Structure 1
Amino acid sequence: MPLATVRATFAAVVLAVLSACSQHPGASFDAAQREARDSFMIAAAHPLAAQAGQDILARGGNATDAAMAVQAVLTLVEPQSSGIGGGAFMLYYDAGSKGVQAFDGRETAPSTATPDLFLKADGTPMDFWDAVVGGRSVGAPGVLRMLELAHAEHGKLPWATLFQPAIRLAREGFEVTPRLHELIAHDKYLKTYAPARRYFYQADGSPLPVGATLRNAKLADTLEAVAENGAEAFYEGAIAGDIARAVRNAEGNPGKLTAADIAGYEAKQRDAICRPYREYKVCGMPPPTSGGATVAQILGILESFDMEAHAPTSADAVHLVAEASRLAFADRNRFLADTDFVEVPLEALLDESYLKRRAALISPRHAMGEAQPGLPAQQAAMPDQPSGASTSHFSIVDAQGNAVSITTSIEQAFGSRMMVRGFLLNNQLTDFSFRPEVDGRPVANRVEGGKRPRSSMSPTIVLDEDGDFVLAIGSPGGSRIIGYVAERLVAFIDWDLDAQAAIDLPNYTNRNGPTELEKNTAVTRHAEELRRRGHVLEVETMTSGLHAVARTPDGRLQGGADPRREGVVLSGVR
């Protein structure tokens, strides 16, 4: 596609997106709303990525094919959020078997990593940002191995074909968006290492301006190698060697990752966590992400309450969702980690009678304060580390009715700030607990060689009583992802809101601490009432990036894109 055509298409879509994004959060986002009898639909975080997926679907590709094209383009146009230097979790719905599969592309710690990775010489935890920036925080990337695993089982179009949109865009260039410009301009650490500094800033040190054309020939070369030779081109040979050298030689904060660690990376297919909620079945990712289990617990607790009776932005709704989240996070922080290394009592945590007992702890008029885990454990609980404006989510339904829900991340915005061969490297190892033990008890999410750090990513697929697809949804947002997604599932199922209306709702959540309300939205008017009930409140910017595709009872596809970011919904007929 000629650059002029790319620019014209991008400009047309982005003008609509920016117009919508300028609205008050929670306002109707008509520019991204789609509802039609089209045979396929995609909701993704950047117009050019969504367009790449749409083109693949229009050419007869399926949801897995389109997902690969979307991820490759996001590596280029949304580098702060995700890419081939990071990891992802993917849920796949097979319309033929009506089954849901979980694909785990989470990064792994170097084989020589030890529990004291983030401890200083005196045994105290490193400052968070001292740990993030540089090689110490980089895990073996998992995205391409995960996509390879999914494509081998479900892909339809040839592997090489799916990288062509990203390769073309990388060579021809794309325009810097307001969001990317702002993130570059305000990042304190992106100039630390020369490759990222040269790529994201002008010669005088100023950030690339809005509308500047950004080309990435190095990424195009990398993607061409992967297109021609498969994921092996990334995980073995020159590319893996360059990643390992950059990590181990990072000035000021070298890491432990080796070429052997990268070559040995294995994506995994796991059993999805599927649990009934009302008349639906909600499926999420199992550990090492905490998202699927914690969302399932929140819904399981809320099932004891008549959520339909409460308006979505009412004080009662906020109170009940916050209290259910508080209880679920108490268990999450204590138990959830990589099940290849730690015994996680998933069956007990999701047991119906257990969740009813947890629900009985909630008073409709009084907040409980800090909740305690509901099961005995030998592990110590640890709070979250900070999380940034990174991660991306996209949802796709193809013409055959298959669906994918993918959350993908390099962790913090711009990850470790280290750039190799045109892509940024993740800082996912800082998702481990910096403290390996507390009061002599081990922390479940401590660092161990080969282990996958706990995540909060929550790609979700909802099915009806017959096992037919109903909804694919997910979000970025650090550990707030869990609350963002759980709230929208309640909105969709209990409050009967369509995909866009559910996404437009104000954000509110609780991570077993303060109840967080999205500022300048309708829920803040209940602040005094919530304080009277005992909630400690924090009113903040809460930049979710929810993207959803749903199928209505009459067979229409319906999409939603978050007005807080720059995503769109695109559809078509095949």
Structure 2
Amino acid sequence: MLDTRTALLSGFLLLGVAACQSPETDVSVPALPEAATGYTAKPGWATERFAVAAANPLATEAGYEILKAGGSALDAAVAVQMVLTLVEPQSSGIGGGAFLLHWDGERVVALDGRETAPAAADETLFLQPDGTPMNFQQAVIGGRSVGVPGAVKMLEQAHREHGKLPWKSLFQTAIHLADDGFPVSPRLHGLLQKDPALRDDPQAAAFYYQADGNPWPVGHRLRNPALAALLREIAEHGSAAFYQGENAEALVQQVNRHPSNPGRLSLSDLDGYQPRQREAICTLWQQRYQVCGFPPPSSGHIAQMQILGLLEQLGPLAPLEQGLPSADFLHRYTEAARLAYADRAQYLADPDFTPAPGGDWNTLLAPGYLKQRASLIGPTSMGTAEPGNPGPLPLAFAPQPEQPEYGTSHISIVDADGNALAMTTSIEQAFGSRLLNDGGTGLPGGYLLNNELTDFAFEPRDAQGKPVANRVEPGKRPRSSMSPTLVFEADSGRLLASVGSPGGAAIIHFTAKTLLGMYGWGLDAQRAIDLPNFASYNGPTMLEAGRFPRSSLKALEARGHEVRESEMTSGLQAIQRTASGWFGGADPRREGLVMGE
């Protein structure tokens, strides 16, 4: 097991940077959350007592040191998130939000640290004067897209309940790395190089780029004194240092005074932010597993378990063929996905604003409903599915048109006491709103602000005036696809796995694929993550480029599928129970690592 920073970075800095694929422009195919930056095979890691999996080796090491010092899974998650803010700024950080699924040995709790819309926002937020929706990139860049960040306050609340080590001690590694600097990774360098908008923010341009406009090279030691100063304040004074005072004032000023795209954030929005504790949804699968996930405002668990439940209704799982999902399986899976994504677009939104069909989100997962929906899957592709009717609603909603959805990083942790978590954390698009905030310190660096409000529907109503469930409303949380997942043995209640991924709307597919790999095809966590990615968002059938034989593509086309190949840059992390302890896997498509003892 790697246990020193030198050993971690020796492999880290050798990763190659591949060419990035341009985002898709077809709205039926969501754009890539982050560009591809290479594929590096991972061995998988066996541990006995505890394990932490995160998207960057320095973040993994921070969590490992906390666990080794006797900290809880939650303690380690705080340390990991603070380091990710520094070393993986494009994906997550204190300027964004997170969904945390926590197991304390007795119950699963869903802690919602999702961003909220400002009190001054309304359903016209992304409409132009003529009533048409803004261009997505036009909406993202600047203050308009920034929601009230939730990660810091949610983690503080979780720490009060599940932490073992002092709050202040969890920030020391991130502060040290921010003060002394960290080597720019190949992935960060590649994404900085290709991003068309981050250079337009003066603070970000001065910090991430050289005078000639090129990003700092791979291995350059990047120091972040502004973030170090703010983290010291949060470590000493708690979340109040983020939601009040100099940081809050600087954040509101930067958002509202953006020269071309100002937002509507207020100091009272920040001071009044509250995380939500929600009831996790646990779903029986294969009569052997309880799969627990996040309820709305995440669409992840419901859509994922609809797909897996529909596959069950269709009969035995088609076996792998030469180690790959077969054309027969891909047909069934993507047809099930069309049905699930149709329901997702119709029904799923913030439950504080939008009622569940029939008054219970489980109506969408009821065996009778899934049996009826599965009957729509035939030998040829349905092309585009319509939503079902799982139960009555007091208000008729219009389906949300497809629009881009991005973002995120995932953390899976199991501690020495058997407590575990799955946390998916995000600032939405790569580099968020492209605003780097110095926390009011006046120092170089800082943290990036989210663009999570663009996860709301840009078009709030259909042509007949029916509202879209996921439209902007004051104080509302935008729908997400984040799918932090914990798996338990149905009979004994024993924890079996923690799984999750970044990937925007594709998160649902990446996580479902890994569950199928581990508990459908009997693979270990690493081999399940390594499987090629596949998806449908209720449009074309998407396959990871270069990973499937031509015969599979032709077989799908013969069944009426419109097949597209694309880079599908997942960032999966998974930890699964073994006879001797735990086995962790990290996605070869990104820079993740698993550590433990």
TM class, shorter-chain normalised?
over 0.9
Q: 2:194 aligns with which of 186, 197, 218?
A: 186
TM-score (norm 1): 0.94
Aligned to 2:27: none
Distance 1:431-1:28 versus aligned 2 partners, 3 A rule:
closer
Tell me the CA shift for residue 379 of structure 1: 0.5
Gaps of 5+ in 1: none
Alignment partner of 1:34 out of 23, 28, 45: 45
Instruction: Give matches, 1:357-506, under 5 Å.
Output: 357-363=372-378, 365-375=379-389, 378-388=396-406, 390-421=407-438, 422-439=446-463, 440-465=465-490, 466-506=492-532
Write the letter of the residue equivalent to 1:372. Answer: E
Following superposition, the deviation at residue 434 of structure 1 comes to: 0.4
Moved more, 54-63 or 347-356: 347-356
The Cα offsets for residues 186-221 of structure 1, whole Å up to 9 and x where unpaired, read as 100001111111111012221111111100000000
Distance 1:28 1:178 in 2: 12
Deviation at 1:31, TM superposition (A): 3.7
Please say if residues 550 and 558 of structure 1, whose CA atoms lie closer than 8 Å, have aligned partners that are also in contact.
yes
Contact 2:74/2:159 (CA < 8 Å) preserved in 1? yes
Distance 1:524 1:187, change over 3 A: farther
Q: Is 2:346 the counterpart of 1:339?
A: no
1:197-276 counterparts in 2 under 5 A?
197-276=205-284
Residue 33 of structure 2 corresponds to none
Name the SS for the 2:159 alignment partner.
helix
In 2, the alpha carbon distance for the partners of 1:331 and 1:50 equals 36
Measured in 1, the distance between the counterparts of 2:127 and 2:470 equals: 15
Q: Which residue of 1 aligns with 2:593?
A: 568
Question: What one-letter code is carried by the residue in structure 1 that aligns with 2:44?
Answer: Q
- The equivalent residue for 1:14 is 12
User: 3-state DSSP class of the match of 2:523?
Assistant: coil
Q: Within 5 Å, which residues of 2 pair with 1:77-116?
A: 77-95=87-105, 97=106, 99-116=107-124
The amino acid that maps onto 2:310 is: I
Structure 2 residue 291 is the aligned partner of structure 1 residue 282: yes
Do the aligned partners of residues 234 and 523 (structure 1) sit closer, same or farther apart at CA in structure 2, a change above 3 Å counting?
farther
Determine which of 311, 324, 335 is the counterpart of 1:323.
335
Partner residue, 1:517: 543
Percent of paired sites with the same residue: 52
Q: Render the CA deviation track for 1:469-526: whole Å, top value 9, x for unaligned.
A: 1011111111011111112111111111110010000000111111100001026541
Counterpart Cα distance in 2 of 1:468 and 1:29 = 33
Aligned AA for 1:449? P
Q: Tell me the amino acid that sits aligned with residue 35 of structure 1.
A: A
Structure 2's unaligned 5+ residue stretches are: 20-35, 439-445
Specify the SS of the correspondent of 1:191: helix
Cα deviation 1:157-197 (Å, max 9, x = unaligned): 00000011000000010011111111001100001111111
Contact residue 517 and residue 523 of structure 1 kept, 8 A: no
CA distance in 2, matches of 1:355, 1:319: 17
Mapped contact 1:517–1:524 kept (Cα < 8 A): no
What whole-Å deviation, never above 9, does each CA across 1:382-432 have from its counterpart, x for those lacking one?
1332234x3101101100111110110000000000011200000000000
Please report how far the alpha carbon of residue 7 of structure 1 lies from its aligned counterpart in structure 2 after TM superposition.
Answer: 6.1
Instruction: Give 1:17 shift.
Output: 6.0
Match for 2:403: what amino acid? Q
Matched, 1:160 2:160: no
Letter in 2 for 1:359: A
Distance 1:67 1:76 in 2: 15
Distance in 2, matches of 1:7 and 1:463, equals 34
2:370 to 350, 355, 361: 355
Contact 1:416 1:424 in 2 (8 A): yes
Q: Deviations over 1:439-486 (max 9, x none)?
A: 211000000000000011001010002111101111111101111111
Equivalent residues of 2:348, 2:469 under 8 A apart:
yes
Contact 2:40–2:589 (8 Å) recurs in 1? no
- CA distance change for structure 1 residues 398 and 362 in 2, over 3 Å: closer, same or farther? same
User: What amino acid is aligned across from residue 161 of structure 1 in structure 2?
Assistant: S
Q: Deviations over 1:113-146 (max 9, x none)?
A: 0100000000000010010000000000000111
TM-superposed deviation, 1:435: 0.5
CA distance in 2, matches of 1:190, 1:509: 30
Change (3 A) 1:203 1:250: same
Choose from 116, 129, 133 the match for 1:121: 129
Separation in 2, partners of 1:412, 1:83: 12
Letter in 2 for 1:517: L
Q: How many residues align?
A: 559
Counterpart of 1:430 in structure 2: which amino acid?
A: T
Distance in 2 (alpha carbons) for counterparts of 1:62 and 1:356: 42
Separation of aligned partners in 2, 1:155 and 1:7: 25
TM-score, structure 2 length as denominator?
A: 0.91
How far, CA to CA, are the matches of 2:549 and 2:229 in structure 1? 48
SS of 2:470's equivalent in the other structure is coil
Deviation at 1:356, TM superposition (A): 1.2
The range that moved more, 369-378 or 334-343, is 369-378
> Partner residue of 2:30?
none
Post-superposition Cα deviations, 1:96-123, rounded to whole Å, max 9, x if no partner, equal x1x2110100000000101000000000
Residue 29 of structure 1, CA deviation: 6.8
Would the alpha carbon gap of residues 126 and 208 (structure 1) be closer, same or farther in structure 2, given more than 3 Å must change? same
Give the partner amino acid of 1:14: F
Any conservation in 1 of the 2:42–2:588 contact (CA below 8 Å)?
Answer: no
Counterpart secondary structure, 1:43: strand
User: Alignment RMSD, CA only?
Assistant: 2.0
Judge conservation of contact 1:32–1:569 (CA < 8 Å) in 2: no
Amino acid at match of 1:327: L
By how many angstroms is 1:18 displaced?
Answer: 5.7
Question: Structure 2: how far apart are the matches of 1:28 and 1:321?
Answer: 25
Assess, with a 3 A threshold, how the Cα gap between structure 1 residues 240 and 490 changes in structure 2: closer, same or farther.
Answer: same
Give the equivalent residue in structure 1 for 2:22: none
Distance 1:20 1:571, change over 3 A: farther
Distance 1:557 1:317, change over 3 A: same
